[in-house]
């Protein structure tokens, strides 16, 4: 019996061994064209299973397969698809694929003065069907291989001298080193918005410094050209507004698997406006994307996007995506490559949207469109092979999606959730061995990437002892330089997904926070903060600031605690600090220091406050947020320091009093007093939606109005008052015309205050440096028009894509942006109507912008000023 068991065990081992040998076999080779040029990132698909891979940058590919017969499908942009049947046995085989250039045929089309290029009709039909392509996939899952490769190849002498060593020290990056980050990710999508991604395994040669900061995986690209904006603000050629951005040219067609594919050249009507240029291939009648080869960029970067789609369950899905960026900016030159290969698709279709109607272009097929006009389309019935106009398609979609939303609401689903994305990293993601990667990588590494890994391994061994210092068992090390310059000390194991530490202590040095004003003289501040974090849902902070005014020989301080969990937060704070009369701080310490030092001007007006403050904030839903703020304080008047002098004595100029001058109140000084303030605010976003990222909710309100009601009240008899303000704010996306931002405030006092501090103050400005705030006037006195009356404020700014100077293409591509703005203030009690209008130019030297502003008082011209604004 023992012998039988032994024989069985031997057979079992032989079986396992034989199976592993079978699985280890592969087919590999190089993909080239007839000119013997390698075809980088060509797609290779197994026809029988839909699985596949892609060639690397050198055109090399490799597929691990069990023994059997397979049909390999080779695809590359601009080349004929090649199908090759191969027999895989016990030994690996090599097959070099040679792809012929695609022969493009031209339809017989007559071009006359009245005829448009046939590309426009093709694109109009494809655009009308783009939303169907998004909705027809009810859910899918897939395994992806993602790789990012990058290199900083050159650094200018100046940049190397200024920051080269610092960059290498802090990031660990070496000039000329090729860095590779690979990731095997499983992706699951479910309509209408859910995406779940799990990082199965990662491998990289990044420096430990970057890995410790969370650079240890790379997500799957969800770039979708059926969406109006595939990524960022880039406008897709299939966007509903694409015809306003692009010119299209028909370059012919080719046939693949019995289907006609139209080659369309995409050209921007105006370069530098978030647009692509290149080729998009569209399949006739079904209007799927076949492939994409598009470019975009500016003077500093050149970017190329290539995508190849393949049929799966009668729909075409992306199987390979490549993005390359070559940059030469700010003294750095190099490249970044991003590659995604998708395989193992499992797709469930929504037949309601998986339609193949005969699309009628009203502009071309006028007779057919006239016959179909008024025909009702039932969202429950199939559209297959039915003639339907683009307008009817749009109406069908609108009604169908409305029905879907109603059905989802009845099922208890959250219909306001426009996107839910979650990502998880497997606990063993960095423990997979070489055998696993040889099996899963599918896309071979290039010679350059292999060399990069080898160099990194050598560096890692050399610096092994230094890396051990990063172990979570060791506490951060104090250095004397931290005392002078400040530092953040991190504790615990850094979160691999969100790249934050569970605990941190931050110290800001007083040498970095020096200021000068006429009250304090020179002053400085040291800050301390201890913070704990738990994923994205919980954060607590203990913080303190210590300030010392050398002129007054006085210490100021504050101490606080902040707690955030999910959508609720509260803060408790107490201390003794100086505050501007306008608590929105219209002038910064930095700007005031410049004017006090160099111009003998003190715009900053401050008083001292001893206080205890509590603030609570709750986002009840994406539509409603409430805030409550209560404060008990003792307020003390401050005077300019005696005999204060600036560095430069400006002739016929003296510093003004620390008490603001005001039109309504002749004497703004005050006696020491107590106050108890209560401020409540409700923010209503009636059309807001929400997004989720790893269960943390975010409000999405772009393009929709935001309404606010704020009540501010003094509750002690000696400092009682009541003010109410309503606000309306909205951003308008005007497509090619740019963006418009509007804010309007209307308010007034139900009970007038006795103290000037409690007046309504406006965000004025009298310096050449413009505030970063949107709700700030460019040339209005800080306190002269502060009021206890009713008031109206309106701010409007239109940022243009193209206006005057930006009509010049090189300037627009360089990054210049133009804007016009108008601000308005009306105070009936003062008979004051103030208007300022201006023109702004941003992106000068990539750092700052200029504004020319003219203002008018009660309809009469008052002044023209120049303002400088630095880019944030």
| Residues 602 and 592: beta-carbon distance below 8 Å | yes
- pLDDT value for 656: 92
Residue-wise pLDDT for 81-122, tens only, equals 899 998 888 788 889 999 998 888 876 554 444 578 999 999
Max CA distance (Å), the chain: 115
CA nearest 276: which of 284, 287, 285, 267? Answer: 267
Q: In this structure, are residues 679 and 711 in contact, taking their beta carbons and an 8 Å threshold? A: yes
Q: Is 4's pLDDT higher than 60?
A: no
DSSP code at position 163: I
Averaged pLDDT score across all residues of the chain: 86
DSSP state of 871: -
| Residues in Cβ contact with 708 at an 8 Å cutoff, skipping those fewer than 6 apart | 681, 682, 683, 684, 725, 726, 727, 729
Token pair for residue 541?
């902070």
Q: Rounded CA gap, 803 and 807, in Å?
A: 6
pLDDT value at position 466? 46
- In this predicted structure, the answer to whether residue 332 has a pLDDT above a threshold of 70 is yes
> Cβ contacts of residue 24 below 8 Å, gap of 6+?
64
Q: Which of 491-505, 666-680, 751-765 has the lowest mean pLDDT?
A: 491-505
* pLDDT score for 844: 87
pLDDT at 469 over 50: no
Cα→Cα distances 174→155, 160, 216, 468, 679, Å: 11, 12, 18, 20, 53
Looking at residue 133, what is its pLDDT?
A: 94
Poorest-confidence range of 209-218, 330-339, 458-467, 849-858? Answer: 458-467
pLDDT at 450 over 50: yes
Contact in structure between 306 and 280 (CB atoms under 8 Å): no
Average the pLDDT over each of 22-31, 235-244, 311-320, 762-771 and give the range with the smallest value: 22-31
The distance from CA 80 to its chain's CA centroid, rounded to whole angstroms, is: 38
**Buried-state track 781-815, b at ≥16 Cβ within 10 A, e below 16:** bbbebbbbbebebbbbbbbbbbbeebeeeebbbbb
In terms of DSSP H, where are the helices of 290-446? 366-372, 390-410, 434-440
pLDDT number for residue 872:
57
Quote the CA–CA distance of 818 and 67 in Å, as a whole number: 64
Least confident of 264-273, 605-614, 741-750: 264-273
Calpha distance 741→703 (Å, rounded)? 9
| Position 379 pLDDT exceeds 80 | no
Average pLDDT of the segment spanning 463-482: 59
Query: What global pTM score does this model have?
Result: 0.83
3 state DSSP class of 438: helix
Of 812 and 141, the structure prediction assigns the larger pLDDT to: 141
DSSP output for 575-620? EEEEEESSTT-SS-HHHHHHHHHHH------EEEEEEEEEEEEEE-
Is the model's pLDDT at 548 over the cut of 80? Answer: yes
The mean pLDDT value for 70-91 works out to 87
- Please check whether residue 612 is in contact with residue 577, taking contact to mean a CB–CB distance below 8 angstroms: no
Tell me the helix, strand and coil percentages in the chain, rounded to 5: 20, 45, 35
**From residue 700, how far is each of 308, 331, 691, 692, 741 by CA, in Å?**
32, 37, 7, 10, 16
CB atoms < 10 A from the CB of 695, how many? 11
Residue range 250-279: average pLDDT? 90
Q: Would the pLDDT of 476 be above 80?
A: no
Asked whether residue 425 carries a pLDDT value surpassing 80, the answer given is: yes
**What does the pLDDT read at residue 162?**
57
Q: Please, what are the domains in the chain?
A: 23-99 (2.60.40.10), 357-410 (no CATH), 566-870 (2.40.160)
Q: What pLDDT, on the 0 to 100 scale, is given for residue 806?
A: 87
Kindly report which listed range (29-43, 51-65, 232-246, 810-824) carries the lowest average pLDDT score.
51-65
Q: Which class for 650: exposed (0-12), middle (13-18), buried (19 or more C-beta within 10 A)?
A: exposed
pLDDT of residue 681: 98
Token pair in block for residue 695: 């269960």
Q: Say what the pLDDT of residue 209 is.
A: 67
**For the segment 152-196, what is each residue's pLDDT rounded down to a tens digit?**
888 776 666 655 566 666 666 778 888 888 899 999 999 988 999
Out of 194-198, 400-404, 453-457, 680-684, least confident range: 453-457
Q: What is the pLDDT of residue 22?
A: 35
Residue 215 pLDDT exceeds 80: no
Tens-place pLDDT, residues 337-371: 999 988 889 999 998 899 888 998 888 888 888 88
How would residue 328 be classed by pLDDT, with cut points 50, 70 and 90?
Answer: confident
Cα 266 to Cα 245: distance, rounded to the nearest angstrom: 10
Element (H, E) at 141: strand 137-155
């Amino acid at each position: 019996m023992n012998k039988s068991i032994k024989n069985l065990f031997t057979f079992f081992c032989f079986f396992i061994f034989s199976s592993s040998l079978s699985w280890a076999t592969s087919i590999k080779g190089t993909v080239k064209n007839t000119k013997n040029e390698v075809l980088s990132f060509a797609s290779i698909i197994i026809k029988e299973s839909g699985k596949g891979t892609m060639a690397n940058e050198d055109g090399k590919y490799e597929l691990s397969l069990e023994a059997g017969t397979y049909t390999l499908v080779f695809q590359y942009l601009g080349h004929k698809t090649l199908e090759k049947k191969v027999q895989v046995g016990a030994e690996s085989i090599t097959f070099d694929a040679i792809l012929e250039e695609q022969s493009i045929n031209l339809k017989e089309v007559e071009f006359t003065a009245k005829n448009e290029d046939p590309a426009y009709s093709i694109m109009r039909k494809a655009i009308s069907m783009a939303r169907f392509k998004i909705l027809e996939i009810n859910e899918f899952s897939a395994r992806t291989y993602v790789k990012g490769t990058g290199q900083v190849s050159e650094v200018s002498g100046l940049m190397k001298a200024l920051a080269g060593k610092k960059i290498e020290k802090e990031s660990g990056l070496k000039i000329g080193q090729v860095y590779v980050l690979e990731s095997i990710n499983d992706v699951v999508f479910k309509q209408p918005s859910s995406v779940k991604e799990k990082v199965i395994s990662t491998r990289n040669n990044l420096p430990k410094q970057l890995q410790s900061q969370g650079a240890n995986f790379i997500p799957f690209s969800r770039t979708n050209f059926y969406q109006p904006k595939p990524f960022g603000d880039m406008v897709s050629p299939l966007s509903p507004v694409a015809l306003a951005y692009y010119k299209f040219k028909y370059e012919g067609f080719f046939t693949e698997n019995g289907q006609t594919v139209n080659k369309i050249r995409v050209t921007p009507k105006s370069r530098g406006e978030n647009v692509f240029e290149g080729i998009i291939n569209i399949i006739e009648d079904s209007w799927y994307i076949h492939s994409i080869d598009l470019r975009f960029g500016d003077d500093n970067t050149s970017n190329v996007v290539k995508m190849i789609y393949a049929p799966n369950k009668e729909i075409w899905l992306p199987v390979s995506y490549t993005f390359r960026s070559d940059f030469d900016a700010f003294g750095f030159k190099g490249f970044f490559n991003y590659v995604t290969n998708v395989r193992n698709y499992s797709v469930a279709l929504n037949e309601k949207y998986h339609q193949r109607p005969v699309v009628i272009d009203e502009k071309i097929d006028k007779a057919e469109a006239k016959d179909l006009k008024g025909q009702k389309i039932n969202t429950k019935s199939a559209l297959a092979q039915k003639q339907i106009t683009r307008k009817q398609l749009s109406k069908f979609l609108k009604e169908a999606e409305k029905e879907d939303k109603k059905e989802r609401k009845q099922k208890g689903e959250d219909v306001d959730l426009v996107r839910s994305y979650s990502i998880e990293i497997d606990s063993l993601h960095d423990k997979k061995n070489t055998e696993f990667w040889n099996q899963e990588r599918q896309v071979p590494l290039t010679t350059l990437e292999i060399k990069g890994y080898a160099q990194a391994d050598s560096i890692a061994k050399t610096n092994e002892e230094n890396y051990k210092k990063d172990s979570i068992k060791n506490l951060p090390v104090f250095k004397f330089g931290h005392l002078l310059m400040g530092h953040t000390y991190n504790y615990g194991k850094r979160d691999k997904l969100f790249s934050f530490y569970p605990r941190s202590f931050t110290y800001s040095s007083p040498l970095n926070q020096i200021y000068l004003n006429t009250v304090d003289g020179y002053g400085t501040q040291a800050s301390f903060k201890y913070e704990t974090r738990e994923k994205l849902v919980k954060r607590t902070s203990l913080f303190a600031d210590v300030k010392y005014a050398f002129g007054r020989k006085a210490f100021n301080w504050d101490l606080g605690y902040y707690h955030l969990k999910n959508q609720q937060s509260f803060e408790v704070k107490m201390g003794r600090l100086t505050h501007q009369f306008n608590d929105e701080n219209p002038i910064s310490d930095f700007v005031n220091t410049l004017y006090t030092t160099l111009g003998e001007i003190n715009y900053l007006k401050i008083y001292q406050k001893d206080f205890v403050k509590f603030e609570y904030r709750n986002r009840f839903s994406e539509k409603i947020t409430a805030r409550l703020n209560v404060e008990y304080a003792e307020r003390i008047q401050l005077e300019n320091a005696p005999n204060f002098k600036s560095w430069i004595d400006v002739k016929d100029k003296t510093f003004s009093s620390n008490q603001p001058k005001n039109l309504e109140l002749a004497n703004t000084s005050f006696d020491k007093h107590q106050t108890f303030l209560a401020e409540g605010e409700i923010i209503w976003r009636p059309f807001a939606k929400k997004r989720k990222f790893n269960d943390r909710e975010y409000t999405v309100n772009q393009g929709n109005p935001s309404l606010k009601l704020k009540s501010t009240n003094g509750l002690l008899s000696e400092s009682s008052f009541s003010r109410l303000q309503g606000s309306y704010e909205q951003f308008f996306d005007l497509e090619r015309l740019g963006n418009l931002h509007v804010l309007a405030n209307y308010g007034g006092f139900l009970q007038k205050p006795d103290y000037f501090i409690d007046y309504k103050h406006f965000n004025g400005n009298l310096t050449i440096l413009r505030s970063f705030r949107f709700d700030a006037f460019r040339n209005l006195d800080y306190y002269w028009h502060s009021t206890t009356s009713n008031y109206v404020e309106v701010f409007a700014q239109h940022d243009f894509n193209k206006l005057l100077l930006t009509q010049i293409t090189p300037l627009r591509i360089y990054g210049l942006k133009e804007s016009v703005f108008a601000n308005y203030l009306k105070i009936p009690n003062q008979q004051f109507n103030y208007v300022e209008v201006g023109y702004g130019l941003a992106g000068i030297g990539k750092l700052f912008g200029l504004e020319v502003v003219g203002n008018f008082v009660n309809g009469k011209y008052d002044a023209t000023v120049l303002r400088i604004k630095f880019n944030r």
